[in-house]
Amino acid sequence: MFTRFCWICCVLCFVQIASAHAPQPALRGITIGPIESSQHPELGYGSDASEALLDELVRLGANAISITPFGRIWSLSSTRIELDFEWKVEDNRAGILRLARAAKARGLRVLLIPHLWVETSGWRGEIDPGSPAAWAAYQAQYRRFVLHWAEVAAAADADIFSIGVECKSWSGRFGAYWLELIHAVRKVFPGELTYSANWDEADNVLFWEQLDYVGINAFYPLAHHNQASYEEYARGAEAALERARTLGDLVRKPVLFVEIGYTTRPDAAVEPWLWPDIMQDVRVDEWEQARALAALMGASATKPWLAGVFVWRYYAHLDDVSQEASWGFSPHGKLAERVLRNVFRAHWASDPATAE
């Protein structure tokens, strides 16, 4: 029977599976979330604070970061996408370029993922303009949005670019549109491409063969009832990884978990996508966040077909607490950070083979 400490210690005891001959080590990534820079201009992307964060992430053992600029859409039926979410788009672009270049100077690989924020209510995966004409208008705006950030990614010498995040309502249709968009992105961005599919969307995405990675926001439920044991979480992690491997094998692409993470609350891995703002009487539970992360990351490190993971998330200023409460996703200063340090520093099965 696992004691409280066994599941944290177990991440140091991976079976050393024969590693694949990958050109790069497995991506041990951290997502850096933006800070509302119009309110805190000294704390956002490209600030001195964000460079100090990069140094901390290197010490943690990370070898990659993802950067998440946001665009704004008013509602799920809107057709216009605004580029100026955190602050003026020109300033945001300059800050992201500074952050990306500082990361590259520290030997970190960079993934840039433009997100959409729905101003009113609803999840971006449910966007539906409603008519063929409205879809055409929305898709023209989306193309402009993605190509803008693809050009920024190219200027920043980013390694990977995601062409979208959780477009569940339309990633399984409009095939001609997606093929043309990918072709247009490749004209301006010379690096590798992925798409950030929600975990329950990935099997229906039309265009994986046109990309370099199957990208998954891996918020898989690890159990289906509260107060699950660590053993149940470990079995759930293996089942989730097997589902991802099957998809990667089908489309003959490596899999990349572009987002993984758990909030700091009880039963965090049962419905990991739930944000506690909508819950009552939320209790902070660092053990739960840590054991859920240990289960999924520990299993991930043993898979030679997995290109890596990006943990959701730290913020551009390491000690800023304005963006989420203590029950949020950030592992900083919590038990989960110990798990990250241990797993990041361990050998991963998808690391390049070392000479005997």
Ordered structural domains, the chain, with CATH: 27-345 (3.20.20.80)
Summarised one tens digit per residue, pLDDT across range 50-84 is 999 999 999 999 999 999 999 999 999 999 999 98
* pLDDT band for position 318 (cuts 50, 70, 90): confident
Can you tell me the mean pLDDT for 83-89? 82
338/322 Cα distance (integer angstroms) = 23
Average pLDDT along the chain: 91
Summarised one tens digit per residue, pLDDT across range 218-241 is 999 999 999 999 999 999 999 999
Beta strands across the sheet bearing 115-118: 81-82, 70-73, 115-118
Cα angle vertex 242, ends 239, 246, to 5°? 145
- Full-model pTM: 0.92
* 151 burial via Cβ count (<10 Å: 0-12, 13-18, 19+): middle
Q: 171 to each of 192, 238, 342, how far by Cα in Å?
A: 19, 26, 36
